[in-house]
Homo-oligomer: A and B are copies of this chain.
Amino acid sequence: MTDVLHATEIHLARRPQGPPVPADFATVARPIEVPPGQVLVRNAFLSVDPYMRGRMNDGPSYVPPFQVGQVMDGGAIGRVVSAPPDSKLRSGQVVLHNLGWRDLATGPEAAFRPLEPRPGLSLSTYLGALGMPGLTAYVGLLDVAGLQGGEVVFVSGAAGAVGSVVGQLARLHGASRVIGSAGSDAKVEHLLRDLHFDAAFNYKRGPVLQLLTEAADTTGIDVYFDNVGGDHLEAALSLLNLHGRVAMCGAVSRYNEAGPVPGPANLGLTVGKRLRLEGFLVGDHAPRMEAFLSEVGEAVADGRLSADETVVDGIENMPGAFIGMLRGDNVGKMVVRVGD
């Protein structure tokens, strides 16, 4: 006889209209069993990410929608509790997986990716600067935008999980100037003081075009890493130099919009300035994971790159963490601690 296991899960209670509210989620405790041949993992940290907002809607997207009444899933890191005898996984092994929004996860061995974390780093780092957001920054800046040494980089959402890595990585790769935008004066101060951006502005303090022009007036910008869309993209198109590139990563400003919003009125500048705008999803770039983990892991370990994060404790606070992340409450990667 084994003890009955109880898992706590977050379910999608209903589809949100506009910004999600707590009543859109349900916290459910239930007994679980480990099916024969499967692995049991106790999660340590769970990830909340902007793309999940899209999965709360019905309808086609690049990832399938969450189902009402079912547990949500997403990035997580934890440790193996038990594994079948023929498994390569051993008790205590750290694993990354996509069975988040719950404290205990079961699944086939193939669902879990074993990881040897660097000593001294919190496991949560592998959901942020050394996880999917960090890889997003890496491939977007280096492969999609093709950053060259000496160029000027602008990143929106610069205090967020992806943006904070973009800005710091740009400097490490020889950018001559790094400019960031964020949604509060405190974040701007953090970018300038702690992450060593050359210029930063609070986009709520004026028209983005005016603020960006002040930040980039003498140099223009060569690369724009777009995390937000909307006014930011339009301003960037105006300031981009000849042969500038835009890595289009997401449009947080639109995730809660019900209908279409007008695109940038100055998109025609793309021709004369020979601009390149390119959308990408990190999932297409898994082959870069090894190079990324080696380079950025080294930079985080030796302190050249700060792995910013905001930690919320307790799975019951996960909906609030998610809602807060969409609102911009986080600095760096927002994670939820549910174990050790």
Q: Which residues of A come within 8 Å of B, CB atoms?
A: 61-62, 229, 233-234, 248-251, 254, 260-281, 284
Q: Per a CB cutoff under 8 Å, which of B229, B265, B278, B280 touches A261?
A: B265
Q: A263-B266, A265-B262 are in contact. Are A281 and B276 (CB under 8 A)?
A: no
A260 surroundings in chain B (CB, below 8 A): 265-266
Q: Per a CB cutoff under 8 Å, which of B233, B250, B275, B281 touches A279?
A: B275
Q: What is the CA–CA distance of A278 and B264 in the complex, to the nearest angstrom?
A: 15
> B272 touching A279 by the CB < 8 A rule?
yes
A-B contact pairs, 24 of them (CB 8 A): A62-B272, A229-B267, A248-B270, A248-B271, A249-B271, A251-B271, A260-B266, A261-B265, A263-B264, A263-B267, A264-B267, A267-B267, A270-B277, A270-B279, A271-B280, A271-B281, A272-B279, A274-B279, A274-B281, A274-B284, A275-B278, A275-B279, A276-B278, A277-B277
Q: List 18 additional contacts besides A229-B267, A233-B267, A274-B278; criterion CB under 8 Å.
A: A62-B273, A248-B270, A250-B271, A254-B268, A260-B265, A261-B265, A262-B262, A262-B263, A263-B267, A270-B279, A271-B281, A272-B281, A273-B279, A274-B280, A274-B281, A276-B278, A277-B277, A277-B278
> B274 touching A276 by the CB < 8 A rule?
no
Name A's interface SS.
loop
Q: What is the CA–CA distance of A262 and B264 in the complex, to the nearest angstrom?
A: 6
A279 surroundings in chain B (CB, below 8 A): 269-276
A269 surroundings in chain B (CB, below 8 A): 279
A277 surroundings in chain B (CB, below 8 A): 270, 276-278
A189 → B minimal CB distance (Å): 30
A268 surroundings in chain B (CB, below 8 A): 229, 251, 254
Q: What is the CA–CA distance of A229 and B266 in the complex, to the nearest angstrom?
A: 11
A62 surroundings in chain B (CB, below 8 A): 272-273
A264 surroundings in chain B (CB, below 8 A): 263, 267
A203 → B minimal CB distance (Å): 18
Q: What is the CA–CA distance of A281 and B271 in the complex, to the nearest angstrom?
A: 7
